[in-house]
Homo-oligomer: A and B are copies of this chain.
Amino acid sequence: MTKPTLVDVGKEAGVSAITVSRALRSPEKVSDSLRAKVDAAVRKLGYVPNQSASTLASSETNSIVVMIPSISNNVFTDVLRGIEDALKHTRLTLQIGNTGYDPIEEERVLRSFLNPAPKGVILAGIEQTNETRQMLANVGVPVVQIMDLSDAPIDQIVGFSHEDAAFAAANHLIDKGYCNIGFLGAQMDPRSQKRLAGFRKALQNAGMYDERAVVVTNRPSDVNIGAILFGKLTTQYPECDAVFCNNDDLALGVLFECQRRGIRVPTELGICGFNDLGVTSQCVPTISTVRTPLYDMGAKAGKILVDGGAGAKDRQVDLGFSLEIRNSSLR
């Protein structure tokens, strides 16, 4: 009782194998009666096409490869939802690769996904190795980078300016009258570094920048880390009256730590987060944050690839960001 093939279906339906193939792939090119016979045979035998054989014969896959740094980071699950929605109701399937924030690992995993060539590749960030770029060029597959901007994308890029976003957030805090503003950062990947740069620029412009105001770690961002980093900040920069956090997790951790210490938000301490991950709009007080187009970047990147990597348009799509000003920064 082996798996049925096109030949088996053909025998069952009394036609040739290639005709079955045609009936399944382009039903409109086949007579009604034949289509009915073939459909019946397919159902009776429970025929399912062999993906490998199909791919080998046609040298066409139906997969989109997405390389993301981490599955357990909410930032990327939002992006993935966008991609998934874009691929819904198409024949394309998603192949997810995990880079662990390491370009070398990205290269290794991606290489194994590149033969046979997928229909498209989505990469997070712009820090690919030269080898990776070379590989992708050789394969000639459409590539969309996401999460950042670049004047020299591999192919196309959909993102926003982390530096501008952080710059805007920091300026918002300055505008509200905070004058000793700290920066908390976890998972200091290149995009986080850009946020730090934007923050620094805003404070320098205002003549407020202080070295002690920056506390970062390379550990993954979570609520607990936020509290820990805030503890360090208050130690080394006691006059601190506001913090800009790299990620909403951290901001929430800061808020909780303030509650534990009896620090009033926003009067004694202003807080601004990043990414608008959901909880910040619900907690008490609500936390101001930067809404970043996570879902939309995924959806747009997916759409570009569904449309065949349309090269005509702009190579760089800036989806922007918006300040979500809530209570934690309004003193």
Q: Does A80 count as interface, using CB distance less than 8 angstroms? A: yes
Q: Does A104 contact B (CB under 8 A)?
A: no
The reply to whether A77 and B81 form a contact with Cβ atoms under 8 Å apart is no
Determine which residue in A72, A135, A224 has the highest number of CB atoms from chain B within 10 A of its CB, and name it: A72
Q: List 5 A-B pairs, Cβ < 8 Å.
A: A51-B115, A52-B52, A77-B77, A84-B98, A252-B282
Stretch from A14-22, A88-96, A166-174 at the B interface: A88-96
Are B116 and A52 interface neighbours, CB within 8 A? yes
A115 x B50 contact (CB < 8 A): yes
Contact check: which of B52, B61, B260 meets A284 at CB < 8 Å?
B260
Q: Which 3 A-B pairs have the closest CB atoms?
A: A259-B284, A52-B55, A48-B115
A217 CA to B135 CA in the complex, in Å? 49
Does A256 sit within 8 A of B, measured CB to CB?
yes
13 additional contacts (CB under 8 A) given A49-B115, A51-B116: A3-B117, A50-B116, A51-B115, A72-B77, A72-B80, A72-B81, A84-B98, A223-B278, A223-B283, A224-B282, A227-B282, A256-B282, A260-B284
Residues of B within 8 A of A259 (CB): 284
A40 interface contact, C-beta 8 A: no
**Shortest Cβ distance from A74 into B: residue:** B74
CB A202 to nearest CB in B, in angstroms, measures 29
**Is A1 an interface residue, CB under 8 A from the partner?**
yes
* Bound Cα distance from A115 to B42, whole angstroms: 14
A227–B283 alpha-carbon span in the complex (Å):
10
CB neighbors of B among A123-161 (8 A): 135, 138-139
- Mark out the residues of chain A between 68 and 109 whose CB falls within 8 Å of any chain B CB in the assembled complex: 71-72, 74, 77-78, 80-81, 84, 93-96, 98
Q: In the assembly, what is the distance between CA of A284 and CA of B255, in Å?
A: 9
Q: How far in angstroms is the closest Cβ of chain B from A115?
A: 4
For chain A residues 1-58, which have a beta carbon within 8 Å of chain B? 1, 3, 46, 48-53, 55-56
A206 interface contact, C-beta 8 A? no
Does A114 reach chain B (CB closer than 8 Å)?
Answer: yes
User: Is the C-beta of A164 less than 8 angstroms from some C-beta in chain B?
Assistant: no
Judged by a CB distance under 8 angstroms, whether A222 is at the interface is yes
Task: Flag whether A111 is at the interface (Cβ < 8 A).
Answer: yes
